[in-house]
Amino acid sequence: MASLKEKLREKIEEHRPRTQRLLKEYGDVVVDKITIAQVIGGMRGVKSLVTDISYLDPNEGIRYRGYTLPEVFEKLPKPKGSEMPFVEGLFSLLLTGEIPSENEVSDVVDEFRKRRIVPRYVYEVIDAYPCCSHPMAIFANAILTLHRESFFAKKYAAGINKLDYWESTYEDALNLLAKLPEIASYIYAKLYRDGKRIQSDPNLDIGGDFAHMMMKPKPYDDVARLHFIIHSDHESGNVSAHTGHLVSSTLSDIYQAISAMINGLAGPLHGLANQEVLRWLQGVKEKMGDEIPSENEMKQFVWDTLNSGQVIPGYGHAVLRKTDPRYSIQRDFCLKNMPEDPLFKYVDLLYKVVPPILKKQGKAKNPWPNLDAQTGVIQWHYGVTEYDFYTVLFGIGRSIGIAANIIWDRALLYPLERPKSVTTEMLEKIAGIK
Ligand code: HAX
């Protein structure tokens, strides 16, 4: 049986001529046009990136390598006694486009296990952080600290053929991904558990080991698997994925690229929204003295937030125009496992009241919830109540998709990213104002 790396090598060799042909024979074919609104407005919707790892349809939601999320959850092999698949299997699917067999997943699980030991200096860097630092800042820095381990950087310095860039990037990617659960759980222990660290268990898969290090009993292992899988990839234009790709396009190594993308994910309009949802809900809960608000009371809280010029966290999306399937999967999980959770009742009430209000207000192009509206309530239910930490969990998952993308970026020799800017005066001339 071919290893993941050998299988990937075959896929890369098959794929390279397709990219070369497009470039050489069809390089002048127009893909898209761009308007002034798009130039000023954050390039919304401009088709200017390529990835084969996932595709986001505005109405259907994300597909990983052509599979919808329910298909991914149904088809990927699962650990014995678990409802959720191996995260390692998802990585294999994202890299190769094929659903791995049980044996193949077990090899990938072994690969990750071998690489999970975190060097001591990383703990020292985390320990040196002053209290009250946000865990995302610590996480980004801990990842960057590992830059000295980069095989790619060493090979590049020694002189390496471009066609081989992907191989050392692959090694860096696996080495980093295997360490992220332990780095994250160590940050959790430092900030919220008086430094009480639990060592990684080499007999467990990523999801099981993370639950073990977080000291959370079953089914938190499945919660972790679910979480990491649904957060892994959302095509290439979102801020975290785009940042990872952009930074890596300079041939920075994967530690530098993933650390940078973590900082992009840390913004409240992106990954931090999951923390903001919980903060918002806690505010409502405090005002209600722990009572579940009536529909009218909840509507009033939503309007008060909008009227004070703030966004409703967890709602809206730059691409999606329907309820995010990542939201629906988590909602189904809640309905099955924790239907009576009081916070879930708040979240479900919001699902009823927010979309009509956002429609009535008429600003948001998408009034429906995104994944961040549900994430925190599940973590809270299973005892991770420190909501500052939620975006770190997102970061572990998102690193998997971005690492897969960066390996392919290198394999297909995507060049340095360098769009062109114009001045406001130039735009005025183009508009015919001047
Ligand atoms: N509440 C209130 N107003 C909202 C809104 C919301 N949830 N979503 C969009 N709007 C507003 C925008 O602020 C914007 O207002 P202005 O015209 O005054 O600037 C207007 O509606 C049009 O925005 P849009 O075109 O619909 O949305 P954008 O592509 O500009 O932004 C965002 C997409 C996700 C940033 C936006 O919907 C938002 O701020 N949502 C709340 C924060 C959030 O949940 N972020 C997480 C998104 C998913 C993700 O990336 N997770 O990591």
Tokens of 77: 């092999």
Write the residue with the smallest CA distance to atom 22 of ligand 1: 364
How far, in Å, from the CA of 317 to the mean position of ligand 1? 6
Tokens of 122: 């990383």
d(CA 181, CA 178): 7
DSSP 8-state code for residue 387: G
Among 363, 370, 393, the mutation site with the greatest number of ligand 1 atoms within 8 A of its Cβ is: 363
Phi and psi at 321, nearest 5°, equal: -130, 15
d(CA 275, CA 373): 9
Q: Which residues pair with residue 62 across a beta bridge?
A: 56
d(CA 320, CA 235): 12
377 near 341, Cβ under 8 Å? yes
* Predicted model pTM: 0.97
Q: How would you class 159 by CB atoms within 10 Å of its CB: exposed for 0-12, middle for 13-18, buried for 19 or more?
A: exposed
| Domains along the sequence of the chain with CATH | 273-381 (1.10.230.10)
d(CA 337, CA 205): 22
d(CA 194, CA 7): 44
Q: Is 365 in the pocket of ligand 1 (CB under 6 A)?
A: yes
pLDDT by residue, tens only, the chain of 434 residues: 679 999 999 999 999 999 999 999 999 999 999 999 999 999 999 999 999 999 999 999 999 999 999 999 999 999 999 999 999 999 999 999 999 999 999 999 999 999 999 999 999 999 999 988 999 999 999 999 999 999 999 999 999 999 999 999 999 999 999 999 999 999 999 999 998 999 999 999 999 999 999 999 999 999 999 999 999 999 999 999 999 999 999 999 999 999 999 999 999 999 999 999 999 999 988 988 878 899 999 999 999 999 999 999 999 999 999 999 999 999 999 999 999 999 999 999 999 999 999 999 999 999 999 999 999 999 999 999 999 999 999 999 999 999 999 999 999 999 999 999 999 999 999 999 97
87 near 112, Cβ under 8 Å? no
Q: Is 313 in the pocket of ligand 1 (CB under 6 A)?
A: yes
**419: part of which helix (H) or strand (E)?**
none
